[in-house]
Structure 1
Amino acid sequence: MIQGAYPNTRPRRNRFDAFTRRLVAEHRLSVDDLIWPIFVCDGENIRTPVDSMPGIERVSVDLLDAHLAEAVALGVPAIAIFPITPIDKRDETGTESANPDNVMCRATRRIKEIYPELGIIADVALDPYTSHGHDGLIENGYVVNDRSLEVLVRQSVNQAAAGVDIIAPSDMMDGRIDAIRKGLDAAGFVDVRIMSYAAKYASVFYGPFRDALGSGGLLCGDKKTYQMDPANSDEALREVALDIAEGADMVMVKPGMPYLDIIRRVRDTFSMPTFAYQVSGEYAMLAGAIERGWLDRDRTILESLLAFKRAGCNGILTYFAVEAARLLKAQ
């Protein structure tokens, strides 16, 4: 690296005015980078706030037209759907996940009718459907791997049949990408993509999300036997490598901001389409500080998302997606 010396070298020259700063900017955030996670519920004409996520709502399928209108108008390319399953439809084995008329599938069909060009990403895991709140099946108090794969494959095929564009397995079972890819291909869905939650950590930052789904109070124990240890970095590369070998088209790191180092290592190592999820706890912290006047809203939203681009992300799942798109369009 060429080293300069003051006073001949003055890095501040390139920060002197706005046009120069624009010319030398290394990374840019655009609307094309944004994926909006939404919570969809049963019923009609329902909008209920998520208390731990200021500004975020659960909406019923019949209100999706209006709920998504601004995102579509602003050019947000994709949404990620997370269904709220009523307690009476949850069971030990997540049977509702394979129901072609479940909330996820009905929402997908409705969105494809009204906004056919909007990309739909569907989470694949059993926690929205199980009575115990875990992502797989439980035997003798332990979340088992191989039997869980069978249910996850059925869930994936069910979602693809409803019109989902990208299947996003977040369960962290071993071998799930290979099993789901084979299941999709056998069912004729060879063009349905897989965005793997390849490095998903057993994080405290998921708390508000579980509240939104109504699964937080159901969870028996924790998810440390299948989600990754926050202390580990090399392990993330092994997980990502396995998922790519098994057929993942894109990979994701979750959570986001506390794991920017992992994102950078993944992108540098694999040069794969890499995504991050600015999860509910990250959103809640920033939104809470913004509400109290401790942070400037617009600048906080854009700076937090730009950090993901700097770390190497192709795109970001963020609850700020619509606001960020609005701000970017106004620039």
Structure 2
Amino acid sequence: MCSGAPIFVIAEAGVNHNGDIETAHRLVDTAAKVGADAVKFQTFTADRIATHSSPLADYQREGVGFEETMQEMLSELVLSPEAHRELKAHAEEAGVVFLSSPFDEDSADFLAELGVSAIKLGSGELTNTPLLRHVAAKGLPVILSTGMGTLEEVREAVRVFAGTRSQVALMHCTSSYPTPPQDANMRVIRTLMDRFALPVGYSDHTEGHVAAVAATALGVCILEKHLTLDRTMKGPDHRASADPDSFADYVEKVREAERCMGSGEKQPVMAEFAVMSASRKSIVAARDISKGSVLTSEMLTAKRPGTGISPAKMNEIIGRRASVDIPEDTLISESMIDTDA
């Protein structure tokens, strides 16, 4: 990813398996079917993430539909080590990259032992310097989300990886589920690119595909979007996720936007040449011109089609002498005029 290749699209399955391994396997199959490049889960133990009394965020409470602590909710969403192994093997068989986000040092160790190709760190870990250092020491590529962060906090996080073997990609993100358009702040993508000279992606929590198209135009190399089998399922993230049809449309729009970007080199494309001859203009006789007449600006005009001498050369034609009679409305050609005045 991030080396001139197409945008790397991550289907964030997250905890949308609701703790059920069969649902997790269906998410792997769905990620492959809708055109994602990777499927990503989350690796944690509930008591390492939150205290026993830590409350749910409002969006999580709305998603689960009842009152419980964060630790209680998370304990129902844990994937076992064996489940991770099954899902990684399944993803590889399905042709998508298996990724997961660790939320503690032990989980990061497990993912490294599992052989993941990169570590994705969520926005909540941006200021978790001990975990950042632990991950940096592994030398794996790191995708770091920056939601809720300031530029200085991003800078401090990036410094942790300086001098290590870890290659870092930053993900712009707004940690609001779903994110309203006015909070997406897409220009931050360019800010991150300019300030850090690192690959930049976008972790997209908006609804629809408009933000992804904007991110594509801004030059991201990674896009991440939550995937669910059904947005009406109970759980913290389903309502801010794309269902299979929406995700497939999302990927299609991103790929279309990529095709629209082109090379950046300003020159006519093949499809324009047929239009060029019909739409551009040529130097034309504005009136009858007698043989031997010295051509003046009053004798000449510019009209379609563009198959004759370009009006850009008008000053080169003025002052030369007609070598034949030229009727009004005739395209001027080099054979009709003398080489010299």
TM-score by length of 2: 0.48
Structure ranking higher in helix proportion: 1
Q: Which gives a bigger RCO, structure 1 or 2 (Cα 8 Å, sep 6+)?
A: 1
- TM-score, normalised to structure 1, is 0.49
Larger radius of gyration: 2
